[in-house]
Structure 1
Amino acid sequence: MKILIIGATGMAGSAITAAALANGHTVTALGRSAEKLAQLPDHTNLTRMAKDAFSLTATDLAAVDVVVDAMATPPAQAYLHVDLATKLVAEVRTKTSPRLVFILGAGSLHTGADHHLLVEDIAADPANAGFLAIPQNQLKELTFLQTVDNVDWVGISPAADFHAGPATTALTGTDDLLVNAAGQSVTTAGTMAQAVLAEIEQPAHHQMRFTVANAD
């Protein structure tokens, strides 16, 4: 498949890029920094595109089968998560391709006996004030996507602790925060990448969000 990965130089995006290439896909790695894109390993199936995601055209998107939105933002610009999702949806509405895959946050997952949103726990800790806008806007992004019924989209949320690391055996769920047998709620970038590739290659979720975590 032809896959466009937005945010291909970031933690999630670079892991997804590597996994897609390893599985034989043709990848266009999009990032704002040509210098960072140049640091991606050379591969015959890799094309680097130094471009702002907001300047992508309908023609750019029509050239691929799948678009993965793994864009990261600073907290002060966290609203761009919603803006980019809106742009991508607007460009592909009513078209059969590309499929849109969004890497979402864990804040929109439910947790606790009362089934509250994890973002409420994040907001309750003053130490998180500096980055709170990110999970808040990723929740808004999911809320927007849930109104979209004429685009083939899927969202994937990690567990509470999302960090770099290799793939492990995965746990999957739908809307509830996952915790493994050791009481940990962790997703490594490698595990996320494998979940993304599995969904791309054998689609099982349409117009919905699911979540993935490390089983160990």
Structure 2
Amino acid sequence: MQIAVIGHTGMGGKALTDLFITRGHQVTGISRSAKPDADRKGLTNVAADVFDTDRMTEVLGGHDAVVSMYSGGHEVDLEVYYRQAEGTRRLIKAFRQAQGRYLLYVGGAASLYVKPDVQMFDDERFPSWYFGIMPAEHLHWLAEITGIGFFHDAAKRKENGTIAPGHTDLELEEFVSGWGRVPLLEGCRMALDLFEGRTDFAWSFLSPPWLYRPGPGTGHYRTGVDYMIFDEGIPSGIALPDLALAVADEVERQEFSHRHWTVAGPLDAKG
């Protein structure tokens, strides 16, 4: 297959691109920082910005599938919300103008339902409890991508046994309790609204689980539709390689067309 991956230089995009190439697909990697001199067997690098609709229309044409790993950023800044929501709108426009065949969009966990009519972001336990129950490895990663050192401190409390596994950290809950705005999560939730109910093009919207993070893969995953997957009352997680595996499988099989779905690691996997 000829597959375009938007955001192929990021963490998730790179893992997915490598997997596609391993499976024998030809990948067009699209990002603002793409460098043509980094081309290799199976990969053609193309520099383009999702906000440049004409350029994106040009580069998306002729592919069997397009995967968006686009992210507006991890800063707690309303500009991130704008970049995610408006960037998605322009991406959809470019895809349609290019007469794209299948668009798989990777969004965020905020749009997953925890009970009927209640998305995670509207859960009364958000944000405090959702951050409080994060395992140490996820907290360390969160500290790295946000630059907030407090998350490293919280991770150490879980690693040294101050907070028992699976229990919430009340100090961490207090730290995030005032986070009434999480721009990336809200932007991804708005992005889903731009897809749902549409049948004028083929799309699939994947919301990774709340505890998606780097780490070794298992080669297995579970899927669900619309609702967050919980394990013993705790939001599920998945390691980066297993998420990439789920995305690659969906691109090849296209079983979740016009659906909002999610994934989780196997039950015996940590997190």
Q: Same fold (TM over 0.5)?
A: yes
CA offsets, 1:26-55, max 9 Å, x none? 0111222247x94xxx63111112222322
Q: How far, CA to CA, are the matches of 2:180 and 2:43 in structure 1? A: 36
CA 1:53 to 1:140, structure 2 compared with 1: closer, same or farther past 3 Å?
A: same
Unaligned ranges ≥5, structure 1? none
Aligned length: 211
1:205–1:101 CA distance, 2 compared to 1 (3 A) = same
Query: Which of 25, 49, 54 is the equivalent residue of 2:51?
Result: 54
What amino acid is the match of 2:67?
Answer: V
- For residues 51-200 of structure 1, the aligned pairs below 5 Å read 51-55=48-52, 56-74=55-73, 75=75, 76-93=79-96, 97-111=100-114, 116-120=118-122, 121-123=125-127, 127=176, 129=179, 132-168=182-218, 169-180=220-231, 183=234, 185-200=236-251
CA–CA separation in structure 1 for the residues paired with 2:88 and 2:198 = 11
Higher strand residue share:
1
Q: CA RMSD in A?
A: 2.6
Q: Is the 8 A contact 2:57 2:97 kept in 1?
A: no
Match of 2:6 in 1: 6
Q: Deviation of residue 133 (structure 1)?
A: 1.1
Relative to the length of structure 1, the TM-score reads 0.86
Conserved in 1, the CA contact under 8 Å of 2:21 and 2:43?
yes
Residue 9 of structure 1, CA deviation: 1.3
> In structure 1, what is the Cα distance between the partners aligned to 2:97 and 2:62?
16
Post-superposition offset of 1:122: 3.3
Q: Which amino acid aligns with 1:25?
A: H
Within 2, Cα distance between the matches of 1:61 and 1:193? 21
1:107 match: secondary structure: helix
Larger radius of gyration between Structure 1 and Structure 2: 2
For 2:118, the aligned partner's letter is H
Q: TM (normalized to structure 2)?
A: 0.70
3-state SS in 2 of match to 1:68:
strand
Match of 2:18, as an amino acid? Answer: A
Q: 2:23 & 2:232 partners in 1: Cα distance?
A: 30
Q: Deviations over 1:85-136 (max 9, x none)?
A: 2223223438763311100101111125x66211134345661739711111
* Runs (5+) with no aligned partner, structure 2: 129-172
